[in-house]
Amino acid sequence: MAGNSLESLLAWMNGSSQMRGWDLIVALEGGKINLGLQQDHITRLSQGTDLGAITGSVGIPDTTITHYLTGFRLAAPALSFEHASLQSIRASLSLTVVEGVHMMVDHTAQGQKKVLSLSALDPLDGSQVTLDLTMAADARRVMLDLANSEDVLLKMFLAPAEQREVGKLFQRWFQALDTDRRVYTLGSFPDEGNPFMFTRGIDVRTQARDVQALAPGTVNEDGAVLLFTHMVDGRSGSFPGDDSGFRYLIPDDDAQQTYSGTALFSQALIHRAAFGHAVVQLLEEAEFERTVDQNGVLAKMVAKRGALQAMAGSYQSVDYEFESEAFSLPAAGGALPLTVEFAQNEVSQRWQGTFSLSFRYRPSGGTTWSAHTATFNINLQHEFRLSADESGVSAMEGELFVPYTDTQEVSHVSGLPGTIEPKELEQIKDFVANTVKRAILERFATTLTTTSSETFLAGMEIVGRSIAQPSHVSLPFDLAMFGQINTSGSSFSIVEQQPTVAAGGRLQLSTEPVHAGLRWSVENFSGSGSNPGEIDEQTGLYQAPPAHAISGTFNRVLVIASDPLSGERSVTLVSVLANPITANPQIQLCYHGQRVELSAGHLDGSALGWSVKNPVAGESGTVVVSDKPDGDHTYIAGPQVPAKTYVLDEIEVSQGTQTQSAYVLVLQREPGAAVRPVENPDLPEGQIQLQAFINNQPQNGQWSLPLGGPGSIDASSGLYSDDFAAKERFVLIAVSVDGGDFGTFEGYIILPLPLSDFPSVLDALAH
């Protein structure tokens, strides 16, 4: 929303309430919430309480296709505001797939199962899981519970039916997780401190910063999460309509200051919290009867028990010096128990009590004391208001005053001799009134404060150990606090959030603000077999390990910046890529003349070159830019080559001297030989026995690896041995069977690697 400045927001709030009946409205910027979710995700990874590795299979209805997903790991959930609404509690989330192997397996009419494609996703070329869910809230917390997910889609597929069906696998996975893995607490309010500031209920909504700027179908974090809150003595309000003119509450048009959070406290709440809490602390063993208005909001408190305890003191009137002993003023006795009445922008206190006071007095400068123990009635009235602090020292100031009235404050009941002169009696009553009011004011001096809102906000916990820190506080009508959400709960944070770096590369890390004396360190996650690399303890310069020291295609490490003096620290997640280019599918099957989609990513987002490596005229296909929505490139297979069973094209993706390859196996006709794994429990891990079949009859053949690896195969027996150091995630194995007079029969099989990670796929291919 252009022009949404601090000044314009304050002008909108000036003179009238925009709270719509709520006690508190908190707006948290979406980008900061997502940054907090990232920090929370890093903590979960380090503790082993993340979503885990998602593995499973899904058959697509009315097709012969089954999708196998193995080791799918998701990044932190991120809120998206393209469907934000002040009228709905639904939220849109996206979770990036940072790791996983996907295979599409076809069950042919001949009963043969074959891998149609294999993709190895990583941070360079992943996918996204998108979903909607109903945000949950209780009296104190606002949560995202992935068990509530609906419309879960895996976006790596073009067909909506496949996106939905595979999305159901993720939905079932979320629902089966323990609470501590699937629930993310976006924010929680304190449950200690001022009891008038305890929350009773929270309703959560989302609001886009600029609805017109949202592009359909995009993931957009340009919005805010709004917490509409009522306190223990308040009520639920109403929600503004999306077209009601309710402003986006976070200023975004200020050249001098950036804001990422806003908190609005109603006038009624800040008066209750200030004076109500002070009155409760005024009395010893206080107990009040509470009365609410027709809306359920606290209107009156009447003391049922408790007493004001006053210390001994002294007083100087016009003609006399007084000294009093400690006394107790019961709050529930007398003509009118201590009664507090709350209005929207003021509080009144009335109290007509009876008490006994022991005191002595003498004429000023005299030496002879007169001592008495007497009983008095006292009629106290006070009013309390909060107003803007015109001095500018703070946002608001409190005013406690005694309204003008003809009613006498103190009257004598008994205990004083009847010979006391009327003038003397009036000074005694002045002394009694002053003594009681002074006892009240002395107690209020330590308990009646205007800072309960700041204290409350300081106790709010935001996801990722983030905290809200107001930098501008004002009282245009309700109390408005504008400020920043600082992630990690520290005064500094690492600027580079979840960066990627190539093997052997360097990455300079820094903090905002710059913080002297930091100590930098790097560590692996538990169970990682990779070298984590090194970091300069003083400068934060990270040196990634070489490619051969990385297990698999990439590794993730924690980089920590810590202050040894304060104990504060900030953490980021660094992904180290063995190859700066990723291309998918790594291998794909199609028939002559068909088109298949390919995708690739580069570490720094550079444009990539695509080509068919060593093309064979009349056989090889071509690569063109995809015309599909969100597509990358398309491989178009060449015409049929009658003399061959298949053509194997290598697609090379390059950027400068850096290259990565993907392969397309183009069938020219149905292979005459089928290949299936043979169950053999006696084989060691990493080996698999293959068998060729013709017309379902086992045959001997000559085995080979068309790509030269990875691993090795016995040419005569078909025993394949995995290469545990290989970074490839598949192997293509071919067989040639001598059919005598019928000629040579060829066949192939695509196997995922390492073999031990894919028992369900291998089992499916064997049957």
- For position 554, what pLDDT does the model report? 92
Residue 369 has pLDDT above 80, yes or no: yes
Q: Looking at per-residue confidence, does 676 or 112 come out higher?
A: 676
- For position 1, what pLDDT does the model report? 44
Angle at 497 (CA atoms; ends 491, 501), nearest 5 degrees = 135
Residue 612 has pLDDT above 60, yes or no: yes
Domains of the chain: 277-447 (no CATH), 493-577 (2.60.40.10), 672-767 (2.60.40.10)
Cβ atoms of 511 and 531 closer than 8 Å: no
Mean pLDDT of all residues belonging to the chain: 93
Q: What is the pLDDT of residues 8-63, one digit of tens each?
A: 999 999 999 999 999 999 999 999 999 999 999 998 988 889 999 999 999 999 99
Q: What is the pLDDT of residues 481-511, one digit of tens each?
A: 999 998 766 788 899 988 999 999 999 999 9
Q: What is the pLDDT of residues 57-105, one digit of tens each?
A: 999 999 999 999 999 999 999 999 988 999 999 999 999 999 999 999 9
pLDDT bin (cut points 50, 70, 90) of residue 229 is very high
Cβ atoms of 302 and 291 closer than 8 Å: yes
- Cis peptide bond upstream of 513, omega within 30: yes
| d(C-alpha 544, C-alpha 574), whole Å | 10
| d(C-alpha 576, C-alpha 524), whole Å | 11
- For position 4, what pLDDT does the model report? 86
- State the average pLDDT over residues 659-669: 97
Cβ atoms of 591 and 644 closer than 8 Å: no
Q: What is the pLDDT of residues 123-174, one digit of tens each?
A: 999 999 999 999 999 999 999 999 999 999 999 998 999 999 999 999 999 9
- State the average pLDDT over residues 184-196: 95
Query: Nearest 5°: phi and psi at 445?
Result: -60, -25
Q: What is the pLDDT of residues 419-470, one digit of tens each?
A: 899 999 999 999 999 999 999 999 999 999 989 999 999 999 999 989 999 9
- For position 488, what pLDDT does the model report? 66
Q: Are strands 500-502 and 569-577 parallel, antiparallel or unpaired?
A: parallel
Residue 393 has pLDDT above 70, yes or no: no
CA-closest candidate to residue 230, choices 301, 134, 295:
295
Cβ atoms of 186 and 144 closer than 8 Å: yes
pLDDT bin (cut points 50, 70, 90) of residue 404 is confident
Contacts of 279 (CB under 8 A, 6+ apart): 286, 301, 338, 340, 349
